[in-house]
Amino acid sequence: MPKPSTPPTRQAAPANQDPLTPEAQAWLSYLGTQRRASPHTLTSYQRDLGKLQTLCSGRMLAEIKPADIRRFVAKLHAGGLEARSIARTLSCWRGLFRWLLARGQLAANPVLGIRPPKAGKPLPKALSVDAASALLDATPEDVLEMRDIAMFELFYSSGLRLAELGGLDLTGTCSIAEGEVTVFGKRSKTRRVPVGGKALEALTSWLEVRATLAAPDEVALFVSQRGARLSLGMIRARLARWAREKGAPQHVHPHMLRHSFASHMLQSSGDLRAVQELLGHASIRSTQVYTHLDFQHLAKIYDAAHPRAKKKA
């Protein structure tokens, strides 16, 4: 009979790191045997505990105070560790000290109430004007691509959200004659959005052939090969595929076209309130992120044009 396997009581230390303290090793063993933590989790925790051990510089864990933890966090942040990684590290440390506290080896948990630095909110990614044109100027080769171009043009022309475009109906929401669409946005708010010339042309072409796909009683503006309303997932997939085929240098998704619409509108008009209305943002703060994108655009122009900003050859 094979011998029953016994769970290890110690974890192997990563290269170039001293073995963990007995308390840390015991906690990892507890997590692995009693809590059934995954090997990936144990490896991550071992790295985080190694950071703590390095920062403690030989001090006993029972001697660590909240002020020490704050100083450790500041060092990790100054060393380039991202806020999300610091949050995970603090979670690991908090768990260790909580376990030691429950075993009577500590008087208090020094990590309680310690928060990681706030993570910076990444700017939305937008296509350049040239990249957007290259994506949309291609000629459709069949009925499905005529539908797709109409959808993509509408995303970029009117800044629609994915759910807003997918929810458009043949009547009541799309008015080719008036050059606008009526969409139902977040929190069931309705807004009317103008549609540009290129998008109107693409929509007109699609409507001329829509009946070849749509079921007789289907009211959706955009339909699948089976004749029913096109799913949101399929809209995403068709756009990603189209972008790959046209040589886009990055993954393109519907919200990127919405971001591109907002950024390009703001660059051209400078009217933040108008862009807010077109996007259907309840707060101007949601729209102000595009001022940062606009500033990046202006900064590039400045660097290329200003005589004191040009780099010497």
pLDDT digit string, tens, across residues 24-77 = 999 999 999 998 888 889 999 999 999 999 999 889 999 999 999 999 999 998
What values do phi and psi take at 194, rounded to 5? -70, 155
What is residue 65's predicted lDDT score, i.e. its pLDDT? 94
Contacts of 191 (CB under 8 A, 6+ apart): 182, 183, 185, 277, 280
Is the model more confident about 146 or about 263?
Answer: 146
Q: What is the average pLDDT value for the chain, to the nearest integer?
A: 82
What is residue 109's predicted lDDT score, i.e. its pLDDT? 95
Instruction: Look up the pTM and report it.
Output: 0.55
**Residue 304 pLDDT grade (very low, low, confident, very high; cuts 50, 70, 90):** low
Report all structural domains of the chain as residue ranges with CATH numbers, in order of start. Answer: 22-102 (1.10.150), 129-305 (1.10.443.10)
> Three-state SS string across the chain, please?
CCCCCCCCCCCCCCCCCCCCCHHHHHHHHHHHHCCCCCHHHHHHHHHHHHHHHHHHCCCCHHHCCHHHHHHHHHHHHHCCCCHHHHHHHHHHHHHHHHHHHHCCCCCCCCCCCCCCCCCCCCCCCCCCHHHHHHHHCCCCCCHHHHHHHHHHHHHHHHCCCHHHHHCCECCCCEECCCCEEEEECHHHCEEEEECCHHHHHHHHHHHHHHHHCCCCCCCECCECCCCCECCHHHHHHHHHHHHHHCCCCCCCCHHHHHHHHHHHHHHHHCCHHHHHHHHCCCCHHHHHHHHHHHHHHHHHHHHHHCCCCCCCC
Q: Which residues are catalytic?
A: 161, 186, 255, 258, 281, 290
pLDDT digit string, tens, across residues 87-144 = 999 999 999 999 999 999 999 999 999 988 886 666 567 788 888 888 888 889 999 9
Q: Is the pLDDT of residue 167 over 80?
A: yes
- Buried b / exposed e across 174-203, counting CB within 10 Å, b at 16+? beeeeebbbbebeeeeeeebebeebbbebb
The residue among 160, 142, 227, 173 whose CA lies nearest residue 151 is 160
What is residue 191's predicted lDDT score, i.e. its pLDDT? 84
What is residue 262's predicted lDDT score, i.e. its pLDDT? 84
> Do 135 and 187 touch, CB atoms closer than 8 A?
no
Contacts of 76 (CB under 8 A, 6+ apart): 51, 86, 89
pLDDT digit string, tens, across residues 231-242 = 999 999 999 999
Q: Is the pLDDT of residue 292 over 90?
A: no
Q: Is the pLDDT of residue 309 over 60?
A: no
Percentage with pLDDT > 90 across the chain:
42
pLDDT digit string, tens, across residues 217-233 = 999 999 999 999 999 99
What is residue 15's predicted lDDT score, i.e. its pLDDT? 40
What is residue 143's predicted lDDT score, i.e. its pLDDT? 95
Edge-to-edge strand ranges of the sheet holding 180-184:
174-175, 180-184, 190-194
What is residue 307's predicted lDDT score, i.e. its pLDDT? 52
